[in-house]
Structures are given as C-alpha cells and as structure tokens.
C-alpha cells in the first residue's frame, strides 16, 4: 500500500491544511481583537511611501510578532474572565437545587466545568465574536 514515508508526508499535509483552515477564521484577523497591532498601525506607520518601503524589512517581522502576541497572549488573557463566567454556570445554585445526590454529581460538574471553560476559551480566541 503506502510506505511509511508517504504516510508521514500525507499526515503532515493534512496537519498543515487543518492549521491553515483553523487559522482562517482566527479572531486576530478581526480588528477588535488586535490590540498591539492596532496600536502600531495608529502610531508607528510612517507617512511617506519611501520611508514605508525602507522600513519594510523591519516592519514585517514586527507585524508578525505583534499578531502572534495578540493571538497567543493578549486575546486569551482578555477572554479568560468571559470563559470563566461561561463555565461557572455549571455551579449556579439558582438553576440546580442541591441535595444528597450532589455528592455523586459534583465530580461530573467539575469535569463539565473544565470542558466548558477550555471550549469557551478556545472558541473565544478562534472565532471573531463581535463586541456588542
């Protein structure tokens, strides 16, 4: 059938396509989620075209770095409280009455809390949810 090398190459191609597909809807592509990059765009962009061309070798790595910091550091930190609020609904005492069965249900709530928190954090970081 396929050799190990061909299987490895196909697996790498599938991973690359998956990463590219997942990043195509990244929240960093939304202007509301690019804090450092927006600051650089507003304050560090030169006026003349000649200066822009001369600064391009330094501006491209700086822009990629700012997008990376926005996507992997700033965005998750800013979305942390919202994700925690989403997950905390698992323990809301108004929605769920406490009883003796709570002893058995509590471990499932802890697992559900972790799953909802991680899912909400990843979702908020990957999907550009507009601010209302």
State both tokens at 86: 């989403």
In the predicted model, what is the mean pLDDT of residues 8-12?
78
Domain containing 32: what range?
24-126
pLDDT surpassing 70 at residue 25:
no
State both tokens at 119: 């899912």
Per the structure, the count of domains in the chain is 1
**Nearest alpha-carbon partner for 62 in 96, 29, 86, 39:** 39
pLDDT at residue 96, rounded to an integer: 64
102 belongs to a structural domain: yes
Give tens-digit pLDDT for 102-118.
Answer: 777 788 888 999 999 99
pLDDT at residue 27, rounded to an integer: 65
92 belongs to a structural domain: yes
Can you tell me the distance from the alpha carbon of 69 to that of 113, in angstroms, rounded to the nearest whole number? 27
Give tens-digit pLDDT for 72-92.
Answer: 888 888 889 999 998 988 887
Residue ranges of the alpha helices (H) in 24-101? 35-43, 49-69, 75-88
Contact yes or no for 112/89 (Cβ under 8 A): no
5 belongs to a structural domain: no
pLDDT at residue 91, rounded to an integer: 80
State both tokens at 129: 């949810």
pLDDT at residue 56, rounded to an integer: 85
pLDDT surpassing 60 at residue 132:
no
50 belongs to a structural domain: yes
What's this model's pTM, rounded to 2 decimal places?
0.64
């Amino acid at each position: 059938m396929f050799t190990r090398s061909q299987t490895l190459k196909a697996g790498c191609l599938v991973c690359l396509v998956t990463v590219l597909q997942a990043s195509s809807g990244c929240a960093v592509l939304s202007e509301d989620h690019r804090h450092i990059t927006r600051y650089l765009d507003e304050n560090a962009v030169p006026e003349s075209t000649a200066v822009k061309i001369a600064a391009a070798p330094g501006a491209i790595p700086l822009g990629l770095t700012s997008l990376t910091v926005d996507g992997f550091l700033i965005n998750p930190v800013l979305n942390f409280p919202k994700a925690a609020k989403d997950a905390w609904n698992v323990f809301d005492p108004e929605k769920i009455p406490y009883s003796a069965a709570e002893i058995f249900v509590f471990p499932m709530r802890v697992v559900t809390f972790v799953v909802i928190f991680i899912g909400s954090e990843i979702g908020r970081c990957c999907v550009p949810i507009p601010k209302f």
